[in-house]
Amino acid sequence: MTISNRKERQKEELKAKILQTAKALFMERGYEETSIRNIAERIEYSPTTIYLYFKDKDDIFYALHREGFVLLNQYFRALGHVEDPFERLKAIAKAYVTFALENGEFYDLMFIIRSPMNALEKEKKEELDWEEGDRAFGFLVNTIEECIAKGYFKGMNAEVLAFTTWSMVHGICSLEIRNRCSVVSELNQPNLAMRACEMVNEILNRMHTVSPS
Amino acid sequence: MTISNRKERQKEELKAKILQTAKALFMERGYEETSIRNIAERIEYSPTTIYLYFKDKDDIFYALHREGFVLLNQYFRALGHVEDPFERLKAIAKAYVTFALENGEFYDLMFIIRSPMNALEKEKKEELDWEEGDRAFGFLVNTIEECIAKGYFKGMNAEVLAFTTWSMVHGICSLEIRNRCSVVSELNQPNLAMRACEMVNEILNRMHTVSPS
DNA sequence: ATATTTTACTTAACGGTGTTAAGTTACAGA
DNA sequence: TCTGTAACTTAACACCGTTAAGTAAAATAT
């Protein structure tokens, strides 16, 4: 009993260590520069050992991708206590951009890099542990539904508006992270993203009072 | 004279052939699956020959990236004759999303993939042939400036609003292209992007009449 | 206590990648 | 005819993800 328990615990510890090392390397150097061989070297195991704990590279980065959503939800959780849904919505937009700018590599993995989506497609059958991602998007949808219930965004579909709002902030963050801002403006760079983020607020402010065209 | 002319012409022809082959492979299989060796094999030269015509892989994809902007500007040129700047702005948003959905790989290269930006950074000195990219963004900025001159978007900065508008449509397109839509909604997929695009129109419609908060 | 199976891991290899140094061949100009 | 240069190739370096086969130790069964 206790001895096979220990073995199992040790297996889980090594799996966690692989993940933790992958995370460290990934945050230092990004996805492309984090190889199975690098991870292996740092934990002092052979590269093939990693395949005893993860199906492939996508599987590792899918696990990290999930960690990213846990972190994002931490940013969001603080906003649960904003009473007014419209104020909460604007706070979500700001928190999202802040999360992206403070955790660039994670953001890249969660919303831009293809790898974790490949892993998700390979599983496909159950995929029920997308939980943390659903929680994040669900928070946005619920907030918008509350807004609509209060008379904001009259005549709009909540899910589509949630997606469109997400698109706005994702657009800002991904252009910043993939270096498309510097090319387009002289404003020094975190500034353009932050000013766009403020403008999203302004857009939301202007939107809600007018009836559909 | 005429003989060295021919040589020079042949060099340019081979350079063009490399580019054209890279483009074909890239559109068939995407960036990751297009290798120098693949290109070389298809044109029946050795891989190293390619380095006589392009500095590195980034350099090749920077050239293709430029072609992408020429294509995007073709989509835009048709809208030059829309008189009303506000209608033109909405048409630009729609044309942009259409371009992205019809030319997914190109869009990826132009606005998501890191490679061409690496090439741009390496040059750095002159970089004056960014022309086509400037033309595209300039078209958007000018249109918004015209809108502001006509009384739309009162109190807003044209450049920041242009960037924010770009962010909205880029968000939609990049979430679609990098497969983040299916995960979030049951709506079948080109639909979510198109409905979000319509909602951008709706947002613009609702924005312009109200004064800043 | 010995034999067998299972676990945990490694070595070696396959087939790919971008890139560079060194070598070859053919042709233009002296 | 000799020489230098232009155009191209061969071979190699240092990586990559991944898999098949092998090893050594520990657990289990006899």
pLDDT tens profile A56-75: 999 999 999 999 999 999 99
Which single residue is written with the structure tokens 């079948």? B188
Q: Which nucleotide is nearest to A3 (CA to C1')?
A: D27
- 3-state secondary structure at position B187: coil
Q: Is A153 left (phi over 0), alpha (psi -120 to 50) or beta?
A: left
Residue of B nearest to A115 (CA): B178
| Least confident piece of the model among B7-11, B12-16, B90-94, B200-204 | B7-11
Q: Which of B135, B3, B143, B156 is nearest to B68 (CA)?
A: B135
Whether the CB-CB separation of A39 and A25 falls below 8 Å is answered with yes
Residue of A nearest to B185 (CA): A159
Please name each of the domains of chain B with its CATH number. Answer: 1-54 (1.10.10.60), 56-207 (1.10.357.10)
pLDDT per residue as tens digits for the range B13-44: 999 999 999 999 999 999 999 999 999 999 99
Chain A residues inside the 8 Å CB shell of B104: none
Per-residue model confidence (pLDDT) at position A213: 35
Q: What is the C-alpha to C-alpha distance for residues A159 and B175, in angstroms, rounded to an integer?
A: 15
Q: Which residue has the higher pLDDT, A207 or B162?
A: B162
Closest approach of chain B CAs to the CA of A151, in angstroms?
15
Whether the CB-CB separation of A177 and A108 falls below 8 Å is answered with yes
Chain B residues inside the 8 Å CB shell of A69: none
pLDDT per residue as tens digits for the range B98-108: 999 999 999 99
**pLDDT band of A2, cuts 50, 70, 90:** low
Q: Which residue has the higher pLDDT, A191 or A48?
A: A48
Q: Can you give the distance from the CA of residue A118 to the C1' of nucleotide D12 in angstroms?
A: 34
Q: Can you give the distance from the CA of residue B4 to the C1' of nucleotide D5 in angstroms?
A: 13
Per-residue model confidence (pLDDT) at position A143: 98
Q: What is the C-alpha to C-alpha distance for residues A71 and A106, in angstroms, rounded to an integer?
A: 9
Q: What is the C-alpha to C-alpha distance for residues B8 and B10, in angstroms, rounded to an integer?
A: 5
